[in-house]
Amino acid sequence: MNLTCFKAYDIRGQLGTELNEDIAYRIARAFARFLKAQRIVLGGDVRATSPELKAALANGLRDEGVDVLDLGLAGTEEVYFATFHLGVDGGIEVTASHNPIDYNGFKLVRQGSRPISADTGLADIRSMAESMSFDLVDGRDPRVDDATRGSYECVDTRPAFVEHLMGYIDIAKFSRPLKLVVNAGNGAAGPALDAIEAAFQAAGVPVTFIKICHEPDGSFPNGIPNPILIENRDMTRNAVLEHKADMGIAWDGDFDRCFLFDEQGRFIEGYYIVGLLAEAFLQKEKGARIIHDPRLTWNTVEQVESNGGVAVQTKAGHAFIKERMREEDAIYGGEMSAHHYFRDFAYCDSGMIPWLLVAELLCAKGKPLSALVDERIAAFPSSGEINLTVSDAPAVLAAIERAYSENAEDVDHTDGVSIRFAQWRFNLRASNTEPVIRLNVESRGNAGLMKEKTEELLAHIKSL
């Protein structure tokens, strides 16, 4: 059987046709054999099919003799945390994040919450799962004796998870009241936010949460939680304005990404959040290394260097960012796509740590978020990522490089092609999974030049 649900970095598929309980069972057995695992953590998001897929995974793991620790309803980063906190051999989160409601999937990590992608084991797990066949009875392999079957236990690591999160901030700096709109999108973030709220209250921190779309609901009555889409931002923006909040935060379904809104209800592009988080960490650890990707760079590099840090560029994508962070012992790595990675979180991405640090920064600087961000947008205006469907991505990238490289100050191939001039630069890269190229343009303090060059590039690409 050809398992098309295996992607470059995770497992995702349409329910029934690409992913079901039988496939989940086989993936679990292959995962256990690949890791030679003894203990595995399981968690699942709020989707209606997550419990049954998680049960199938648990059966497959246990039939391989693996002890299963079930976190229940949990975000992806809670699986990451439990995996390294409990010292187990790996973890699986059942989630389709922001994909359509008829999809689900799995995110897999090994010991220490290290990622498993196509070239570090996912392809091997796929091959093993494709070659397996079982005649299951009530979801179990009847050939496996109860004496050799792994155990099953429900565990609660959320108190330890929240305690870990609170270690990233200095609550003494929360010296003024903050009002935050938190939009869980009816996903898995709600219970974790309740636990963080309780921790704030216990510590006497004057933070008030305005909760919207808070209750976990797998039918997603307010739409699939994907705040990166413009049409999904109104509810958070309107709540910020209505309640005169200091900041709005919205999450995707498994809350490994958060998206921020300033006190004016304006959505803040992830590029500028990377710079803010770099500054926040460098105030705590001077001289630290910060990892960033090549799509948009100037603002990040300036904020890192002006705060006494070292900026290190690497290819976009969680596997590349995490690997380079380990090599450099970097304290933080950020992507403009709202994925933020933290050394003390086993180099994993988190959707909770970023907003905690930004909230602390608001208090420490005594400025609204709009003021902090406006300074950076004015200094380095950017186009945001523009996606274009093309028939031959390599040919388009080559043609654009030929057209622009002759008079450039620098041409870089870390990820796609980045071409730099004195006052503006751009990055053009191909998608790994679809016939799409992604364009990002920025300038030094000249929004008109940025827009002009963006339009020029788009016209050139469309003419090819």
| Contact between residue 195 and residue 260 where contact means Cβ atoms under 8 Å apart | no
Tokens of 276: 């803010």
| Contact between residue 172 and residue 143 where contact means Cβ atoms under 8 Å apart | no
- Choose the catalytic residue: 50, 97, 113, 117: 97
Angle at 129 between CA 127 and CA 132, to 5 degrees: 110
| Contact between residue 50 and residue 218 where contact means Cβ atoms under 8 Å apart | yes
Q: In what order do the strands lie in the sheet with 207-212?
A: 207-212, 178-183, 247-251, 258-261
> What single letter denotes the amino acid at residue 185?
G
Quote the CA–CA distance of 369 and 377 in Å, as a whole number.
12
Q: What is the CB neighbour count within 10 angstroms for residue 243?
A: 15
Strand 152-154 to 67-73 pairing: parallel
Query: 3-state SS string over 125-170?
Result: HHHHHHHCCCCCECCECCCCCCCCCCCEEECCCHHHHHHHHHCCCC
Quote the CA–CA distance of 417 and 409 in Å, as a whole number.
13
| Contact between residue 71 and residue 39 where contact means Cβ atoms under 8 Å apart | no
- Contacts of 403-411 with C-beta under 8 Å, sequence gap 24+, read 403/460
| Helix, strand, coil percent content, the chain, rounded in steps of 5 | 40, 20, 35
Q: Is 306 a catalytic residue?
A: no
Q: Tell me the backbone φ, ψ of residue 103, rounded to 5 degrees.
A: -115, 160
| CA dihedral (359, 181, 95, 384) positive or negative | negative
- Gap between the terminal Cα atoms of the chain: 40
| Contact between residue 267 and residue 234 where contact means Cβ atoms under 8 Å apart | no
Q: What is the largest CA-CA distance in the chain?
A: 72
Catalytic (active-site) positions: 97
